[in-house]
């Protein structure tokens, strides 16, 4: 049989889990269709999921139909749990994107589409809820083609074949295919499969999963239009989830990309697999082996994390979906060390929590996407660890960058030590993060010392000098330096490198070339025509922008645009109030943009970069047998290496 791993993704309330239940039922994997509302959905087995009526964690199901053995991975639909969904995308052969025929392409739908593009996942689309008043398949299909891709095509069969218009639309997505199609007037099945695999064509099916309509067509499409993946001969696997079972045993979820895995096989330098499990909903059974393409669980491993590559597979790239809010935990009457231990376990399962402890302030902090994730975190602490805690109102997670290049220098020369490093700091493209490189001759600085510099750059989170927020969107290049054959050691270059980064930042702060970035929302706001004026005024006050109002049916108007998270956070309650519950605000983090009120934020933080001793911009020079500190602004005049012109 053709073995495929597919994930189901969607904006919350599009009917994703309902479609999963329908697929399981029609394949004979379950005897009855579970309902999210009833709390008996096969793929929402967790108590929190049943209580809240949403998918919070990814889950696995296994089913067979026609010639397909399908491993189905259901993912969270709420934007607050987008990082969980992104973890799953890296192990998929195909995805099924569920879109509500009533709501159309929503903000988070576009985010999911971008993530599917990033991970190059071939995608089928199921337009759901055709039975809901206001549903319009033709309108939704047109929107899919306009907003997502012209390759989103109706794959309804006519006499067992694709309609002529669909074949033409598919051929138009590739010049070579179009030439062949114009010659013989027919698209071979293998060509269509290849176009789907290459993400040029995206088959669209429609129905109502709750009533099981259209589900059989989707299953037939998955059987007919998918290709069996090819796997490497050598062992490789991707970790996509960490969890703990009811007994507290740590579970590492993997998808094998090559070879095979058996009990007692060594997967990490000092760790062997003691058992292999395969989950189906909440149930699990032990297996003797996992083959390429299988999804399974390795109990008992330590040190694994989502995105880790095992065997011949490299680690995955840094996730796109990052939290934008920071919350401080209030332990109330609980023991702070117990809270720290519990959060360490949850951080192990979801590293995007970025749990941190401030010894100076005696505070625990976590980073989250929004209030729903915060509520779930509190419930997890209560139910799993019997801890009743609270959190503060949360603060925005800012970032910093530069608007102009600068050469920073760091010098570290206490007695019997020596190093000097020159770094070029240049603004990068938005969303590029930090990029490190070397453009320094080996005659100037030896290979070993250059390696020490680049390793040191990647060894810590670099902070800006405006408010001490993490640096981003910079390219940092080693362009010069000096070592001593007698006194230099590796740690010296770590000190000089970190000081060079901060010294360059301070130089730019002096000339106003440091920029504060803040997260912005992409929003869609539905209000009545009489409330458009109020909505536009609010958006303007929040520093946001909006497109012209668009009709959204039933006398509703849709406004789309962007606004700072700091201003729009909590605005959904305001919308519900002035629309009397009829309005709807849909927000998705759209990335970081320049802060709309940088001066006010900098003043409020009152950050003193020179006093931040672990991140000092100053250097250490040596004279008369003793080291002495030199302020950052005096370092250029005292540097031993010339500055680059």
pLDDT value, residue 643: 87
Mean pLDDT of 380-402: 94
Distance set, CA 7 to CA 418, 512, 580 (Å) = 54, 47, 37
* Largest interatomic CA distance in the chain: 93
HSE value, Cβ hemisphere, 13 Å, CA-based, for 575: 22
- Average pLDDT score, the chain: 92
HSE value, Cβ hemisphere, 13 Å, CA-based, for 592: 28
In CATH, the number for domain 236-311 is 2.40.30.10
d(CA 318, CA 303) in angstroms, rounded, equals 17
Predicted confidence (pLDDT) per residue in 572-584, tens digit: 889 989 998 888 8
pLDDT value, residue 134: 82
d(CA 2, CA 94) in angstroms, rounded, equals 13
Domain boundaries for CATH 3.30.70.240 within the chain: 517-596
Domain boundaries for CATH 3.30.70.870 within the chain: 325-397
Q: Please say whether the beta carbons of 154 and 166 come within 8 A.
A: yes
Residue 520, class by beta-carbon neighbours within 10 Å (0-12 exposed, 13-18 middle, 19+ buried)? buried
Report how far Cα 381 is from the mean position of its chain's Cα atoms.
23
Most confident of 107-121, 261-275, 306-320, 494-508: 494-508
CB count in 10 Å sphere of residue 453: 25
d(CA 147, CA 412) in angstroms, rounded, equals 54
pLDDT value, residue 43: 79
d(CA 388, CA 329) in angstroms, rounded, equals 11
pLDDT value, residue 394: 86
Predicted confidence (pLDDT) per residue in 13-42, tens digit: 898 989 999 999 999 988 888 776 666 778
The SS3 call for residue 49 is helix
pLDDT band at 215 (very low <50, low <70, confident <90, very high): very high
pLDDT value, residue 54: 79
In CATH, the number for domain 517-596 is 3.30.70.240
Is pLDDT of 498 > 90?
yes
Q: How many residues does the chain have?
A: 645
Q: Please say whether the beta carbons of 457 and 438 come within 8 A.
A: no
CB count in 10 Å sphere of residue 581: 8
Q: Please say whether the beta carbons of 405 and 616 come within 8 A.
A: no
Q: Please say whether the beta carbons of 309 and 347 come within 8 A.
A: no
**C-alpha dihedral over 151, 155, 159, 164, to 10 degrees?**
-20
Q: Please say whether the beta carbons of 77 and 40 come within 8 A.
A: no
d(CA 130, CA 387) in angstroms, rounded, equals 44
Q: Where are the alpha helices (DSSP H) in 542-625?
A: 565-568, 571-578, 598-605
Is pLDDT of 166 > 70?
yes
pLDDT band at 102 (very low <50, low <70, confident <90, very high): confident
pLDDT band at 131 (very low <50, low <70, confident <90, very high): very high
The SS3 call for residue 451 is helix
d(CA 509, CA 427) in angstroms, rounded, equals 14
Number of H helices, E strands in the chain: 18, 36
pLDDT value, residue 393: 86
Is pLDDT of 511 > 80?
yes
pLDDT value, residue 645: 61
pLDDT value, residue 212: 94
pLDDT value, residue 338: 95
- In CATH, which superfamily holds the domain spanning 2-225? P-loop containing nucleotide triphosphate hydrolases (3.40.50.300)
pLDDT band at 78 (very low <50, low <70, confident <90, very high): confident
Tokens coding 299: 């109990």
Domain boundaries for CATH 3.40.50.300 within the chain: 2-225
Is pLDDT of 255 > 80?
yes
Task: Identify the DSSP state of 555.
Answer: T
Is pLDDT of 114 > 70?
yes
Beta-strand ranges (E) seen in 23-102 are: 59-65, 68-74, 94-100
**Phi-psi map region of 73: left, alpha, beta (phi>0 left; psi -120 to 50 alpha):** beta
pLDDT value, residue 520: 95
pLDDT value, residue 554: 66
The SS3 call for residue 381 is helix
d(CA 291, CA 298) in angstroms, rounded, equals 14
Is pLDDT of 465 > 70?
yes
Domain boundaries for CATH 2.40.30.10 within the chain: 236-311
pTM of the model: 0.86
- In CATH, which superfamily holds the domain spanning 325-397? Elongation Factor G (Translational Gtpase), domain 3 (3.30.70.870)
pLDDT value, residue 56: 83
Instruction: Decide the pairing of beta strands 514-528 and 556-564.
Output: antiparallel
pLDDT band at 275 (very low <50, low <70, confident <90, very high): very high
pLDDT value, residue 597: 93
């Amino acid at each position: 049989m053709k073995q495929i791993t597919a994930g189901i993704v969607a904006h919350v309330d599009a009917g994703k889990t309902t479609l999963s239940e329908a697929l399981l039922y029609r394949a004979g994997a379950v005897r009855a269709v579970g309902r999210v509302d009833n709390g008996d959905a096969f793929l929402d087995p967790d108590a929190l999921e049943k209580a809240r009526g949403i998918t919070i964690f990814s889950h696995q199901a296994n089913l067979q139909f026609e010639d397909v053995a399908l491993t189905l991975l259901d993912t969270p639909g709420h934007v607050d749990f987008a990082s969980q969904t992104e973890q799953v995308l890296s192990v998929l052969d195909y995805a099924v994107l569920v879109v509500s025929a009533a709501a159309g392409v929503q903000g988070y739908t576009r985010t999911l589409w971008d993530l599917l593009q990033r991970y190059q996942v071939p995608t089928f689309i199921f337009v759901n809820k055709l039975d809901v008043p206001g549903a319009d398949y033709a309108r939704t299909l047109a929107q899919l083609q306009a907003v997502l891709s012209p390759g989103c095509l109706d794959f309804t069969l006519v006499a067992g074949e694709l309609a002529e218009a669909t074949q033409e639309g598919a051929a138009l997505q590739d010049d070579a295919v179009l030439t062949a199609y114009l010659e013989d007037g027919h698209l071979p099945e293998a060509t269509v499969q290849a176009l789907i695999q290459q993400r040029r064509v995206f088959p669209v099916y429609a129905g109502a999963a709750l009533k099981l309509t259209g589900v059989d067509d989707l299953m037939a499409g998955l059987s007919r239009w998918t290709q069996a993946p090819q796997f490497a001969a050598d062992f490789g696997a991707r970790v996509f989830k960490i969890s703990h079972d009811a007994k507290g045993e740590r579970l590492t979820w993997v998808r094998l990309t090559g070879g095979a895995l058996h009990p007692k096989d060594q997967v990490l330098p000092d760790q062997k697999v003691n058992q292999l499990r395969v989950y189906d909903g909440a149930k699990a059974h032990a297996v003797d082996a996992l083959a390429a393409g299988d999804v399974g669980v390795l109990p008992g491993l330590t040190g694994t994390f989502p995105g880790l590559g095992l065997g011949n597979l490299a680690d995955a790239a840094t996730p796109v979906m990052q939290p934008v809010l920071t919350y401080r935990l209030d332990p109330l009457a609980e023991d702070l060390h117990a809270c720290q231990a519990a959060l360490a376990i949850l951080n192990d399962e979801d590293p995007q929590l970025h749990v941190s402890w401030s010894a100076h302030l005696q505070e625990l902090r976590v980073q989250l996407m929004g209030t729903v994730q915060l509520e779930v975190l509190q419930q997890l602490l209560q139910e799993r660890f019997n801890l009743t805690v609270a959190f503060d109102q949360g603060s925005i997670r800012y970032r910093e960058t530069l608007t102009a290049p600068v050469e920073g220098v760091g010098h570290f020369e206490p007695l019997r030590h020596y190093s000097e490093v020159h770094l070029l700091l240049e603004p990068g493209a938005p969303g590029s993060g930090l990029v490190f490189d070397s453009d320094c001759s080996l005659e100037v600085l030896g290979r070993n010392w250059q390696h020490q510099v680049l390793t040191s750059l990647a060894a810590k989170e670099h902070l800006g000098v405006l408010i001490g927020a993490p640096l981003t969107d910079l390219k940092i290049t080693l362009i010069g330096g000096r070592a001593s054959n007698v006194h230099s050691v590796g740690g010296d270059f770590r000190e000089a490198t970190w000081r060079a980064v901060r010294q360059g930042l301070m130089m730019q702060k002096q000339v106003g070339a440091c920029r504060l970035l803040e997260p912005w929302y992409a929003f869609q706001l539905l209000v009545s025509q009489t409330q458009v004026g109020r909505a536009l005024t609010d958006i303007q006050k929040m520093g946001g922008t909006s497109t012209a109002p668009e009709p959204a049916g039933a006398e509703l108007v849709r406004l789309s645009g962007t606004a700072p998270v700091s201003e729009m956070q909590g605005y959904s309650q305001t919308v519900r109030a002035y629309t009397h519950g009829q309005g709807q605000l849909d927000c998705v983090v759209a990335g970081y943009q320049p802060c709309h009120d940088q001066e006010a934020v900098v003043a409020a933080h009152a950050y003193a970069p020179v006093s931040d001793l672990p991140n000092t911009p100053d250097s250490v020079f040596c004279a008369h047998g003793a080291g002495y500190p030199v302020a950052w602004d005096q370092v250029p005049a005292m540097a031993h290496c010339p500055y680059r012109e």
